[in-house]
Amino acid sequence: MKKRLLVTAIILAGIFIFNNASAIEFMPVGSDAISMGGAGVASAKGGYAPYYNPALLAGYKNNVDIVFAVSAGMRNINLADKIDKLADMKVEDSIDSLSNIDPTDPTKVEQYRNDIINVGNFINEILTIDTKNGLQASPGFNLGCQIKQFGLGLYTVSDAVANAVIDQTRTELIIKTELAGGTIYPKYDPNDPNLVVNPDVGVDYYNAHSVEYALNNGDTYINLTGLAYVEIPVSGGYRFNTLIGNIDVGGSLKLMPGYTLDRDIKIDTSTSDVASDLRKDTKSSVSWGIDLGVLYQPKGLEKLSVGVVGKNLNTPQFKIASGGYLKAKPMARAGVAYDIIDDKLTAALDADLTKNETYLPDYYSQYIGGGLNFYPVDWFSVRAGLMQNIQESAEGLIITAGLGIGHRLFQVDLSALSSTKTAKVKGSTVPEVAKIQLGITSTW
């Protein structure tokens, strides 16, 4: 029976190594992993083992380990500063003004010119938004418990995204204008507010090319898509002592309450209002998931651990308000860890085996990262690492760091990560990717 289980575990590991299925990205969770380049598949301890790799429970070192953490994260891809600029322009006011101004009225000439300039600047700005863009928020709350070789937890995975959709065929400055003599559709030159290109292009041309039409009819907009779910796993691990070393296998059966968001808002909504809108009109549903993991420690090299985990193997899905589902597709990750200097220094490295989908359209996540954890005494640890998304260049290299202070019964951890690439948002320089977590650990 044990041999059959072992063969099954090895086959599962092989499947994931060669599988390239798409998935929601593997969110970094836990003080050690966040500050060690996201690595945890072969090194996560105690209460974070059910999330990263349930096989880690088989080799438990403490009878009980309880973790609690709150976190906040964000990713900005060519969008935050853009939509704040668009919001500041108040283009709807200018369009409303132009739609009611008689261009021949000499008392309205200055207002007329300023409104044309403003709408023209708005058009120029939306044309600079890359088709690959987005603003992503990922808050988190985690509570985990390891009791010998078993684990329980409550881990939040949150991926809420704002993405700008620009109708490239409707970017001309044509304003539907109501005059005493009827409705006209004048076309203006946005680079020369004194020039009317055509005093009346007609309704059909207006419908096909006007930026006003695109804004009013939802062809140019910001799409909000989000999935936040809670993993509530019941996990266990078992160790096989073999002639070639320790082979640990583990699994998690997860209850997954979730909330989804899928709706459109105006393109000139400010980032602060987008953050507020991401919390509105959610749809709740409950799904379930399966995780399986393997960990190997070679004979004579027990300080070395090599692991593989597959998460959400059954493709959990969550209802959206407009009909249909958002899915948490299967994903796989491998990791390696090594304890040195009398177990006071741990080196770890993880790599995604799957090219993972995100809710940023055409934006993929596949990370490789690792780091070091140095704990010279029981009450202090310091960590550092690096990680890189090998599928996308927009984030650059991501630097991670953290430290823990306190007695093993109550240790406080602070961890953070930040990308080397930055962007301007309302005049301030911010990293394209950032996350911070405050955690508490109690070990008995």
14-18, 55-59, 143-147, 393-397: the lowest-pLDDT one: 14-18
Same domain, 101 and 194: yes
Does 349 map to a domain? Answer: yes
What pTM was computed for the model? 0.87
Confidence of residue 278 (pLDDT cuts 50, 70, 90): low
Residue 405 lies in a domain: no
Residues 422-436 have a mean pLDDT of: 87
Q: Do both 140 and 115 map to the same domain?
A: no
* Residue in the block written with tokens 């430290």: 403
Report the domain count for the chain.
2
Q: Name the residue with tokens 């070679």.
A: 298
> Residue 381 and residue 102: Cα distance in Å, rounded?
71
Contact status, residue 372 vs residue 385, Cβ threshold 8 Å: yes
Within a domain: residue 438?
no
What pLDDT is attached to residue 164? Answer: 95
CB 288 within 8 A of CB 309: no
| d(C-alpha 92, C-alpha 333), whole Å | 48
Asked whether the beta carbons of 102 and 179 are under 8 A apart, the reply is yes
d(C-alpha 37, C-alpha 42), whole Å: 13
DSSP-derived 3-state class of residue 300: coil
Task: Convert the pLDDT of each residue in 65-101 to its tens digit.
Answer: 999 999 999 999 888 888 888 999 999 999 999 888 7
Domain boundary among 148, 181, 216: 216
Q: Which of 19-28, 239-248, 260-269, 305-314 has the lowest mean pLDDT?
A: 19-28
The dihedral built from the CA positions of residue 213, 217, 219 and 222, taken in this order, carries a sign that is: positive
What average pLDDT is seen over the chain?
A: 89
Q: Tell whether 32 and 90 lie within a shared domain.
A: no
Structure tokens at 435: 């996350």
Range of the domain at 368: 2-60+134-165+223-377
Report how far apart, in Å, the C-alpha atoms of 148 and of each of 115, 129, 145, 444 are.
Answer: 69, 52, 10, 11
Nearest to 26 by CA among 336, 311, 326: 311
Same domain, 84 and 14: no
Is residue 435 situated within a structural domain? no
CA 185 to chain centre: 43
